[in-house]
A and B are shown apart, each in its own frame.
Chain A
Amino acid sequence: MTGRMVLLQALLTEHYDLFLIPGLPFLAALVIAGFCLRPPRERLAPALLIPALTGSLILSVRALAEVGREGVPLTVSYAWLWVGSARLDIGCLADGLSCVMLVVVCTVSLLVQIYSIGYMKGEIGYGRYFAFMSIFSGSMLGLVISDNLLQTYIFWELVGICSYLLIGFWYRRPSAAAAAKKAFVVTRFGDLGFMVAIILIFSQKWWTFNFQQIAGMAHGGNIAAAAATPLALLLFCAAVGKSAQFPLHIWLPDAMEGPTPVSALIHAATMVAAGVYLVARCYALFAIAPVALFVVALIGAITLFLAATMGVAENDIKRVLAYSTISQLGYMMMALGVGGYVAGVFHLTTHAFFKALLFLTAGSVIHAIHTNDMWKMGGLGKRMPITAVTCLLGALALAGIFPLSGFWSKDEILSAAWFSHLPGHWFFFAAGLVTVFLTAFYMFRLWFLTFAGEPRSEEAAHAHESPWVMGGPLVLLAALAVVAGGLKCLVPGTGHGFGAVVGTGHGEEAVSHAAMALSILAALAGIGLAWAAYRARLVSPAAFNARFPAVHALLKNAWYFDQGWRWFATRVVLAGSGLAAWFDRHVVNGMVDGVAWLSGWASRQLRTAQTGQVQFYAIVLTAAVVAGLLAVLAREASLLQLFQVRP
């Protein structure tokens, strides 16, 4: 077949429109970067990004409906290049998992961008903000829709750099610059695992990075557990960095230095979920590596508990939410680890809605009174009713109260831990249950301190509700946070429940009513304690802190992880790098300088041969020919054979 026909056929039959889903935001980014960076035209930036995202959303919903109805993934793939026997592709894979994720990313991103119009109004660098946001949206959608590991890795790094740029958006503030650097370095630490995993696949000569083909090999028993385990662990390493899991969780709370819509979109709803998504995407590999699954569950369980305890003692409203995000990501990881594939992905979906909502309400409060400290808030419920009510709905969803979305997804996770075949699954269940209590407690501590009671500062007393361009997205997200649980039974447009749409081939997951009851009780207990401590003042947190100073200090300092890492960085890493620097300065540099000097010297010597005399050139030419002839003929016995004809 000729190239032209192949191209024509591709245009007619393949789903090339999938490329537009990440393509539209990238296009918007290009136009914004080209024309709308400076003040007079920068107001146009959101007018470019929002239609682009709407287009991506429509395409994603269409893809989801088609995939849900037909049950067959949509794919399109082109050879990007060939290296040896390996064909590296550039392509899209739209199956249930990626379509759900695409719709979530597009929806949250769209609402956050609308909210940003109000929140970022009058900031210096308004156009730059929307340019970065466009690149981020495009990269995130590209990450989700990639059909192979290498392409995923490219977009993985792109979202990482966008996160860096947006955390450091107010780069004149030293703390923001430091936080951006920290986020970048810590996540890169994990990304190293991703890169090694890709090299490992290449060295094992599978000759493919395609997810479907790798899954096919795994299901077909063509991958040994001994090969799958290190691979799965390396990929999980990347996920630990990106999804802020123990022990690399330290970057996420600091990332709150960025503008709040950035925290809502990138550091709560989408990018940090990329780690979970990666594990889900490569679940076929994890499924044949039980050791890796256990590690995933264990890290998830440790993370969800530790982060929740850190959230209890935090006073910065955004940092509480950051710890909560870490903890919820831990839930998702644990779910995947104990075999609850659908539960993990479902929680990822519902969490995206209610956590984006919570961040945006926090942003609304910060926008009104210009502080992050909850002890300077209070009594905002009367002054900012929409924010207060939507935040309450978000908090209830996060706490897992029936019938809000968080209840359904968290319950599925607990059930999955309950029924798991993993050794020690009771421990995972217990960790999950205790954390339900902690979650409800810190969330309602936040709500009571912020919205209930009397104002504790001048600004809080004179706060006003945010404009509708910010309120509208809050209401819509709150609606989603309330009803998203219904997706469990029916994903609109597909005619199937959530499990059937995303979980092809991973089996039905049972639900335990006992777990359900226990989790509701735990959540109610948490809310009750928060009410008692921060609203009714029946219990005194100060007295508790005075009684157990060690516990308070431990929680207040987030279990001293930052200090631990700092010690590691300054003592171990710096000592090692000092050694390396000495080696570099004296040995490597010496060699490089030597080579450079030698090259320069050789160059000056050799160029003297270029005399410009044509006779000399002809001599060199002839001499080279003669030398070649002599060399060739010297291999033969004698020159006399020169004209001997082969018989």
Chain B
Amino acid sequence: METLLQLRCELLALGAALLVMLADLVQPRGSRRWLGWFSGLLAAAVLAVVVDSWTKQVQPARLWEGAVTLDRLGFFFKGIFILGVAVVSVASTDFAARRFRFVGEYYGLLFLSATGMMLMVSAGDLLSLYLGIELTTLSLYALAAYGKLSPRSGEAGLKYIVLGATASAVFLFGASLVYGVAGTTRFAEIGRQILPWTALTPGLAAGGLLVLAALAFKIAAAPFHMWAPDVYQGAPTPVTAFLSTASKAAGFAAIIRILLGPMLGAAESWITVVIVLSSVSMVVGNLIAISQKDIKRMLAYSGIAQAGYALAGVASSSEMGIVATGFFLFQYLFTNIGAFLVVTAVGSSAGNDEIASYNGLCRRSPLLALAMLVFLLSLGGIPPLAGFWGKLYVFWAAAERGLYGLVFLGVLASVLSLYYYLMVARAMYIEPAGRRPGVKVGFALALGIAVCALVVVGLAYPTPLLHFASGGMWAMSGAR
């Protein structure tokens, strides 16, 4: 019982999933709009428990002989996931009621995948990690294919499941290699067999590489990124918002758990791999994004590049790098969800996601255009918006580790990225509107966009978030 209580965040998220689906059954027909608000409320309740757990968990704890670990970093990531659920479910109230036949299951799947993500970040064992990954991705496969009315959504779901299964196979193959060499799947025990400053045995190296490759698939880092643009484009836009942020954060959480947990002693061996992943992602993502005409595809490639930036934080293999990556993923959640919510609004009005649909948006819907501008500038890393601090901290961490080449490449890539972000801004503010009508935005969606924009602007004062991301190491206040 005690042990189960320790897992209250995961259990509550699971309970919320069931509750939403049950609540859907209570009302046989009629408008299901209230379900979105209801699940937003449930997510807020879970968030409160997560924050409370963060406060109480001063020392890390292990359950079931280390199969599950609980610490402040974990609760920080759990907060990210559940915030993603809260914002997306409230903001997609109208979208879901209009487009989906089964609304309750949509919210239920969001909570289920969040449960899986929470398990991923709590994992202290390769098997519990795999369990978390599968729960997450199975829910996400279903969500990607949820817009059954559109053939593209089905295509997205199919592609995602085929490639996701391939990645899972790679993960399991890697995990079995590790087990074969180390004789255990527990992180702590694997860590004990890795001696600092010595090269990994080939078996461990190969197994670790395969596991890392599977996780790189989850975060859509190049060259494991090819599924992302097709899936992001085809999936219903609110699902894409969730997929591109929370699921990416979960992948990063798992990478941090492994590389900066048991594998930290072998940092010299894996750091090159991470640097390669990071730099290829930054270059490929930013380059291909330039020539996109569809905003969802553009944001997909941008997401690949952003994964590259966050990997620079991992490559620093330091405490500061972990904090920086956590901070980066938190701000990315709000920035990117915000951008996709604007895409939802404009896409519903225009009927397509062409960048040309944004022409003259500042005259048609000035507040929407302003919000989009904030998100784009934040993605581009313009101070003092959230994205700037995110990039600053990951690059700073990498520079402290001496990875100047990576930082230089990252800064160059950011400059390149401004081109395609500002192309959208240009469409919104400079191009003539033509005969396009104003965009009508429902209250729930407007609220979601406003919250995201406020967070992105509010993170100009980053210290409180750093306080949470660092597990309380970096204090907020205090007289000198």
Do A and B belong to a common assembly? yes
- Restricting to A606-647, which residues have a CB under 8 Å from any CB of B? 606-607, 609-610, 612, 614, 616-618, 620-622, 624-625, 628-629, 632-633, 635-636, 639, 641-646
Q: Contacting B217 at CB < 8 Å: which of A81, A90, A213, A621?
A: A621
Q: Contacting B287 at CB < 8 Å: which of A75, A606, A635?
A: A606
Q: Is the CB of A213 within 8 A of B480?
A: yes
CA distance A617 to B462 in the complex (A): 39
Chain A residues with CB under 8 Å of B180's CB are 643
Q: Is the CB of B480 within 8 A of A210?
A: yes
Instruction: Count residues on chain B whose CB falls below 8 Å from chain A CBs.
Output: 58
Please tell me which stretch of A6-14, A163-171, A451-459 contacts chain B, meaning at least 4 of its Cβ atoms lie within 8 angstroms of it. A6-14
Q: Contacting A641 at CB < 8 Å: which of B183, B202, B287?
A: B202
Is A578 part of the binding interface, using a Cβ–Cβ cutoff of 8 Å?
A: no
Is B328 part of the binding interface, using a Cβ–Cβ cutoff of 8 Å?
A: no
Q: Is the CB of B288 within 8 A of A610?
A: yes
Nearest CB of B to A215, in Å: 13
With A614-B162, A633-B202 known to touch, is A79 a contact of B463 (CB < 8 Å)? yes
Is A3 part of the binding interface, using a Cβ–Cβ cutoff of 8 Å?
A: yes
Q: Is the CB of B217 within 8 A of A632?
A: no
CA distance A81 to B392 in the complex (A): 11
Nearest CB of A to B88, in Å: 26
Q: Is the CB of A620 within 8 A of B284?
A: no
- Restricting to B434-469, which residues have a CB under 8 Å from any CB of A? 461-464, 466-468
Is B430 part of the binding interface, using a Cβ–Cβ cutoff of 8 Å?
A: no
Chain A residues with CB under 8 Å of B229's CB are 610
Is A83 part of the binding interface, using a Cβ–Cβ cutoff of 8 Å?
A: yes
CA distance A641 to B206 in the complex (A): 11
Chain A residues with CB under 8 Å of B206's CB are 629, 632-633, 642
Please tell me which stretch of B12-20, B113-121, B220-228 contacts chain A, meaning at least 4 of its Cβ atoms lie within 8 angstroms of it. B220-228
CA distance A492 to B421 in the complex (A): 58
Is A84 part of the binding interface, using a Cβ–Cβ cutoff of 8 Å?
A: yes
Is B31 part of the binding interface, using a Cβ–Cβ cutoff of 8 Å?
A: no
Please tell me which stretch of B97-105, B135-143, B374-382, B471-479 contacts chain A, meaning at least 4 of its Cβ atoms lie within 8 angstroms of it. B471-479
CA distance A641 to B202 in the complex (A): 7
Nearest CB of A to B389, in Å: 7
CA distance A603 to B158 in the complex (A): 27
CA distance A632 to B288 in the complex (A): 28
Residue of A nearest to B195 (CB): A646
Chain A residues with CB under 8 Å of B183's CB are 645
Residue of A nearest to B159 (CB): A614
Is B367 part of the binding interface, using a Cβ–Cβ cutoff of 8 Å?
A: no
Among B170, B199, B210, B475: residue with most chain A CB under 10 A: B475
CA distance A163 to B389 in the complex (A): 31
Residue of B nearest to A612 (CB): B230
Nearest CB of B to A3, in Å: 6
Total contacts A to B, CB within 8 angstroms?
144
Chain A residues with CB under 8 Å of B392's CB are 83
Among A6, A77, A602, A607: residue with most chain B CB under 10 A: A607
Chain B residues with CB under 8 Å of A645's CB are 181, 183, 201, 203
CA distance A603 to B413 in the complex (A): 13
With A79-B475, A80-B463, A614-B163 known to touch, is A625 a contact of B273 (CB < 8 Å)? no
CA distance A642 to B448 in the complex (A): 52
Chain B residues with CB under 8 Å of A210's CB are 480
Q: Contacting B396 at CB < 8 Å: which of A79, A83, A90, A620?
A: A83
Provide the A1-31 mask, 1 if CB < 8 A to any CB of B, else 0.
0111011001000100000000000000000
| A/B interface sample: 21 pairs, CB < 8 A | A2-B472, A7-B476, A14-B477, A77-B480, A80-B461, A80-B463, A81-B463, A599-B287, A599-B290, A606-B284, A610-B229, A616-B226, A617-B226, A625-B210, A628-B209, A632-B206, A632-B209, A632-B273, A642-B202, A643-B180, A646-B201
Chain B residues with CB under 8 Å of A604's CB are 291
Residue of B nearest to A622 (CB): B166
Residue of B nearest to A628 (CB): B209
Is A78 part of the binding interface, using a Cβ–Cβ cutoff of 8 Å?
A: yes
Contacts A596-B419, A621-B163 supplied; 17 other A-B pairs, CB < 8 Å = A2-B55, A14-B479, A77-B477, A78-B463, A79-B474, A81-B466, A599-B287, A603-B288, A609-B226, A610-B226, A614-B158, A620-B223, A621-B217, A621-B223, A628-B213, A639-B202, A642-B206
Nearest CB of B to A623, in Å: 8
- Restricting to A68-126, which residues have a CB under 8 Å from any CB of B? 75, 77-84, 90
CA distance A606 to B389 in the complex (A): 30
Nearest CB of B to A435, in Å: 43
